[in-house]
């Protein structure tokens, strides 16, 4: 279970940073940066992937009430232009910039360090399973992105985004084959490129 061990080791105001949406075929990548104000965070915080949607929603509201949070994203256009890894770094940088202050240290999920961070930082492989701050950031990023994908699903029915959140499920791939690509699809991802050779790109909003 996630804990505060890493935060206590570095001391000061420590921000956990994580992202949601590196793997989907559609939608932006979203990152959250989070510094707990309370010494006792809400119970039940864990890697967002291990939680139900209802648990994530509950914890999202609880976390927002006891932490300073910044959220950032990188668009589909940016993902296609600079690649998904660099776009993820952009989202993380923007999330940190959205905080009301510069933290003393940053804990980043994964093994790659985003460039040009405003303070010292440490990467933690599977950080959302080990650091409470990173796990909480993963929940905020996931809920924020899921809400956006639900809005996009209403605008572009037929791809199953309301359940797959843009990931390459059978329903989504079927939608690509039947309906073609939308302005929210990542053209640099292989299944979308293949669909793009068969259909005209949908330019509707």
pLDDT 10s digits, 154-190: 999 999 999 999 999 999 999 999 999 999 999 999 9
Please state, as a whole number, how many other Cβ atoms lie within 10 Å of the Cβ of residue 66. Answer: 14
pLDDT 10s digits, 38-58: 778 999 999 999 999 999 999
% of the chain residues with pLDDT over 70: 96
In this model, does residue 199 exceed pLDDT 60? no
Domains within the chain, CATH numbers bracketed: 5-152 (3.30.420.10), 157-196 (no CATH)
- Round to whole Å and give the CA distance between 117 and 44: 29
- Cα–Cα nearest to 68, from 20, 119, 32: 32
Residue with structure tokens 């460039």?
Answer: 115
What stretch of H or E contains 102? Answer: none
Q: Which two tokens stand for residue 82?
A: 């600079």
Three-state SS at 113: coil
Please state, as a whole number, how many other Cβ atoms lie within 10 Å of the Cβ of residue 202. Answer: 14
Q: For the residues 144-160, what does the mean pLDDT come to?
A: 98
In this model, does residue 203 exceed pLDDT 80? no
Instruction: Supply the pLDDT for residue 170.
Output: 97
pTM given for the model: 0.94
- Name all contacts of 168-176 with Cβ < 8 Å and 24+ positions apart: 168/23, 168/24, 168/25, 172/25, 172/26, 176/25
Half-sphere exposure of 105 (CA within 13 A, CB side): 14
Q: Are 72 and 21 in contact (CB under 8 A)?
A: no
Q: For the residues 3-30, what does the mean pLDDT come to?
A: 97
Confidence of residue 62 (pLDDT cuts 50, 70, 90): very high
Q: Are 141 and 109 in contact (CB under 8 A)?
A: no
- Cα–Cα nearest to 20, from 68, 67, 80, 87: 87
């Amino acid at each position: 279970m996630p804990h505060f061990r890493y935060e206590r080791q570095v001391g000061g105001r420590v921000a956990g940073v994580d992202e949601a949406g590196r793997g989907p075929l559609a939608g932006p990548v979203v990152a959250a940066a989070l510094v707990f104000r309370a010494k006792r965070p809400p119970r039940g915080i864990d890697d967002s992937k291990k939680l139900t949607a209802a648990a994530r929603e509950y914890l999202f509201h609880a976390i927002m009430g006891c932490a300073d949070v910044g959220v950032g994203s990188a668009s589909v256009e940016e993902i296609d232009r600079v690649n998904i890894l660099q776009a993820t770094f952009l989202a993380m940088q923007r999330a940190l910039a959205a905080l009301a202050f510069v933290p003393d240290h940053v804990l980043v999920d994964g093994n790659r360090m985003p460039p040009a961070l405003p303070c010292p930082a440490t990467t933690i492989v599977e950080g959302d399973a080990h650091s409470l701050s990173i796990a909480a950031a993963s929940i905020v990023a996931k809920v924020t992105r899921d809400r956006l994908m639900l809005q996009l699903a209403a605008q572009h029915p037929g791809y199953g985004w309301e359940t797959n959140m843009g990931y390459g499920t059978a329903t989504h791939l079927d939608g690509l084959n039947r309906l073609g690509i939308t302005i929210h699809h990542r053209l640099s991802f292989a299944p979308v490129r293949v669909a793009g050779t068969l259909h005209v790109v949908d330019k509707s909003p």
